[in-house]
Chain A
């Protein structure tokens, strides 16, 4: 209680907004990068083909990031996401081979992914194994299962052309799914008790349980959500490239998703999170990836430059806050 408190003064100057909202900061980074790449290569953004292409870089990372964010808020992580990504489409394939129509087979594939999430959650919550370790184990296990049931050979996704178009093979289908899912997850996080309690449990587990929040249920549920999203993304990608491949996704995809979440403003240590930030973070990664490819950077130097760019984006992100805070004094 401040004696003689002033009434609420909402800061209207943009530097303050920059300092307070991580989403706005990372959006600024995304815009700067887009402008740079558009200048360097005029096919980056403003043609139909390039926009579609860019969206396909962004979409899968964005969806998986949504799931990771819910877990990271609670101080957990799902390292097996990239492997569940490859696993679920195969389950869908086998369900379809067993006679189920494509739509139902898809559902079975997603549910199988959810089962992995349930295992991740149960082991972490009830056996009290740190999620890093749990999901590291399921990472290898699920990968092995995928390779075994697929015998290492890629297959075609089920269903007819319309079904496939809806589920990812039409150019903009994936990004529309990504935005829709991000929208739903944002509402879940910010406008429903589930999300609010997840944040409370992440910020102060002891306090949240004292308030009567069921932390275990939340964690379990969030592990399932993360796995469902990872599996669904794998299925979308399988339709996009018209091939279900046991080597798809993998750890690279998982790292990109976690990176997108962190770049977007969700700290690894937990306690807070932003879905919108994750979406923009995925956009930044996609812009970097696509932009550098279009410029013509070769594979050997590619990762070097990508890594440096990510570092630069994060440094800007973090120091922009400090600069603004200093300036505001």
Chain B
């Protein structure tokens, strides 16, 4: 009798246990369904992983130059199962950027990417992130040579070299006279090296070129006004060149407004803002240099992915996102294709291409 009761008790317990277990499983299944679908992320051949969170800190969050970068981030994130956050400062305030990095560390981000626009300010925050086990990548701007900054890799253009090549191009276009070099925020590490490179190349050329540096400010409207005023005050200049996207667009606009190519004035700059490309096509700007912002976002996410997937064993490596001169002769395809990769449209596309590739 006692044993029967015991058995009964056991059966009851088991039943209770089973019921509880079933209930729990059901709850978990519901929960699992409620979680974001990429919980069982299908990143191609890679096994499922939790959705990693990558924080992209930026120094000019609302600047149109980085729109393709954000598309690159979005596409890579969708491909590989990341969530991303685009934050930082809208007007190059380093304090705000440092705050954003610290917030990412406190929020236990899985990876952080930040342009190192100040020679010292990011050393400690990046060190702290690495100490907390969060990989940090620099994109678009890197720490200066000799710096003790410990970022894992840099994804972007070789800034000094690009500036140097621009300087060589300037020396080939202008023989002598006043040449204006516009820079949005002097001293900032994503553009200052270009200026330094350009000035060095111009000096090396030996030509009698008077190169003046003018600061234009971090926002596009300011930049245009400053460039206009400078031109109006120095109408005998022989060339206007810029080292950042916004100032380049400004230079192009001023060249068009005052019809400067007809007066023998040359102009050029960096990056492929839509207006800049138009004006190159219309013949008002001699060249622009593409640093390929889309891949600055895309490759950075890939690097983070490799690091996280392999537990830090594979990668990261510096990636030079390239330096390409775009002139009237080669601008056509840029103008006609509206793709995400140049930031001109949101629709993803496969762009057809035929014929030989010009090296």
A residues bordering B, Cβ < 8 Å?
Answer: 41, 43, 47, 49-50, 52-53, 56-57, 60, 147, 151-154, 156, 169, 237, 240-243, 245-250, 252, 289-290, 293-294, 296-300, 302-303
Q: CB distance B106 to A247 under 8 Å? A: no
Q: A50-B106, A56-B102, A156-B120 are in contact. Are A241 and B94 (CB under 8 A)?
A: yes
Closest Cβ neighbor of B61 among chain A residues: A299
Besides the contacts A153-B186, A294-B103, what 20 more A-B pairs have beta carbons closer than 8 Å? A41-B107, A50-B106, A151-B186, A152-B185, A152-B215, A154-B119, A241-B121, A242-B121, A243-B118, A247-B218, A248-B93, A252-B91, A293-B103, A296-B53, A296-B107, A297-B87, A298-B85, A299-B61, A299-B62, A302-B87
Q: CB distance A245 to B103 under 8 Å? A: no
Closest Cβ neighbor of A298 among chain B residues: B86
The interface centre, meaning the residue of B62, B102, B106, B121 with most chain A CB atoms within 10 A of its CB, is B106
Q: Which of B91, B120, B121 contacts A250 (CB 8 A)?
A: B91
Q: CB distance A293 to B92 under 8 Å? A: no
Q: CB distance A248 to B107 under 8 Å? A: no
Q: CB distance B103 to A298 under 8 Å? A: no
Q: A43-B107, A247-B93, A299-B90 are in contact. Are A154 and B99 (CB under 8 A)?
A: no
Q: A241-B121, A294-B107, A299-B87 are in contact. Are A152 and B95 (CB under 8 A)?
A: no
Q: A297: which B residues are within 8 A, CB to CB?
A: 85, 87
Q: A303: which B residues are within 8 A, CB to CB?
A: 90
- Asked whether B88 is an interface residue with its Cβ less than 8 Å from the other chain, the reply is yes
Q: A154-B94, A242-B120, A249-B93 are in contact. Are A49 and B105 (CB under 8 A)?
A: yes
Q: A248: which B residues are within 8 A, CB to CB?
A: 93-95
Closest Cβ neighbor of B189 among chain A residues: A154
**Assembled-state Cα–Cα distance A293/B102 (Å):** 10
- Asked whether B108 is an interface residue with its Cβ less than 8 Å from the other chain, the reply is yes
User: Which residues of B in the span 17-64 have a Cβ within 8 Å of any Cβ on A?
Assistant: 53, 58, 61-62
Q: What per-residue 1/0 map shows which CB atoms of B56-82 lie under 8 Å from chain A?
A: 001001100000000000000000000
Q: CB distance B61 to A300 under 8 Å? A: yes
- Asked whether B227 is an interface residue with its Cβ less than 8 Å from the other chain, the reply is no
Q: A56: which B residues are within 8 A, CB to CB?
A: 99, 102
Q: CB distance B185 to A250 under 8 Å? A: no
Chosen A-B contacts, 29 in total, with CB atoms closer than 8 Å, are: A43-B108, A56-B102, A151-B186, A152-B185, A240-B98, A241-B94, A241-B118, A242-B123, A242-B124, A243-B94, A243-B119, A245-B94, A245-B95, A245-B118, A245-B121, A247-B91, A247-B92, A247-B218, A248-B93, A248-B94, A249-B95, A252-B93, A290-B103, A296-B85, A296-B107, A297-B85, A299-B58, A300-B61, A302-B87
* Minimal beta-carbon separation of B54 from chain A (angstroms): 10
Task: Kindly list the 10 A-B residue pairs having the minimum CB-CB distance in the complex, ordered from nearest.
Answer: A153-B187, A299-B61, A152-B186, A243-B121, A50-B106, A241-B121, A293-B103, A49-B106, A294-B107, A53-B106
Closest Cβ neighbor of A247 among chain B residues: B92
**Assembled-state Cα–Cα distance A289/B96 (Å):** 10
User: Which residues of B in the span 130-186 have a Cβ within 8 Å of any Cβ on A?
Assistant: 132, 185-186
Q: A47: which B residues are within 8 A, CB to CB?
A: 106
Q: A294: which B residues are within 8 A, CB to CB?
A: 103, 106-107
- Asked whether B200 is an interface residue with its Cβ less than 8 Å from the other chain, the reply is no
Q: CB distance A243 to B86 under 8 Å? A: no
- Asked whether B83 is an interface residue with its Cβ less than 8 Å from the other chain, the reply is yes
Q: A43-B108, A241-B95, A252-B91 are in contact. Are A247 and B86 (CB under 8 A)?
A: no
Q: Which of B85, B108, B120, B185 contacts A247 (CB 8 A)?
A: B185
* Minimal beta-carbon separation of B56 from chain A (angstroms): 9
- Asked whether B100 is an interface residue with its Cβ less than 8 Å from the other chain, the reply is yes
Closest Cβ neighbor of A290 among chain B residues: B103
**Assembled-state Cα–Cα distance A242/B147 (Å):** 14
**Assembled-state Cα–Cα distance A152/B217 (Å):** 10
**Assembled-state Cα–Cα distance A57/B132 (Å):** 21
* Minimal beta-carbon separation of A82 from chain B (angstroms): 10
**Assembled-state Cα–Cα distance A49/B186 (Å):** 33
* Minimal beta-carbon separation of B151 from chain A (angstroms): 16
* Minimal beta-carbon separation of A300 from chain B (angstroms): 7
Q: CB distance B61 to A247 under 8 Å? A: no
Q: A53: which B residues are within 8 A, CB to CB?
A: 99, 102-103, 105-106
**Assembled-state Cα–Cα distance A289/B99 (Å):** 10
**Assembled-state Cα–Cα distance A252/B85 (Å):** 22
Q: A289: which B residues are within 8 A, CB to CB?
A: 99
Q: A300: which B residues are within 8 A, CB to CB?
A: 61-62, 86
Q: A152-B185, A250-B91 are in contact. Are A299 and B118 (CB under 8 A)?
A: no
The interface centre, meaning the residue of A237, A247, A289, A294 with most chain B CB atoms within 10 A of its CB, is A247
**Assembled-state Cα–Cα distance A302/B98 (Å):** 17
Q: What per-residue 1/0 map shows which CB atoms of B102-115 lie under 8 Å from chain A?
A: 11011110000000
Q: A247: which B residues are within 8 A, CB to CB?
A: 91-94, 185, 218
Q: A241: which B residues are within 8 A, CB to CB?
A: 94-95, 98, 118, 121
* Minimal beta-carbon separation of B40 from chain A (angstroms): 22
Q: CB distance A43 to B106 under 8 Å? A: yes
Q: B92: which A residues are within 8 A, CB to CB?
A: 247
Q: B107: which A residues are within 8 A, CB to CB?
A: 41, 43, 50, 293-294, 296
* Minimal beta-carbon separation of B103 from chain A (angstroms): 4
* Minimal beta-carbon separation of B343 from chain A (angstroms): 14
**Assembled-state Cα–Cα distance A60/B98 (Å):** 14
* Minimal beta-carbon separation of A253 from chain B (angstroms): 8
**Assembled-state Cα–Cα distance A252/B196 (Å):** 31
Closest Cβ neighbor of B123 among chain A residues: A242
Q: Which of A49, A60, A154, A250 contacts B118 (CB 8 A)?
A: A154
**Assembled-state Cα–Cα distance A152/B53 (Å):** 35
* Minimal beta-carbon separation of B62 from chain A (angstroms): 7
* Minimal beta-carbon separation of B148 from chain A (angstroms): 11
**Assembled-state Cα–Cα distance A293/B53 (Å):** 13
**Assembled-state Cα–Cα distance A243/B99 (Å):** 14
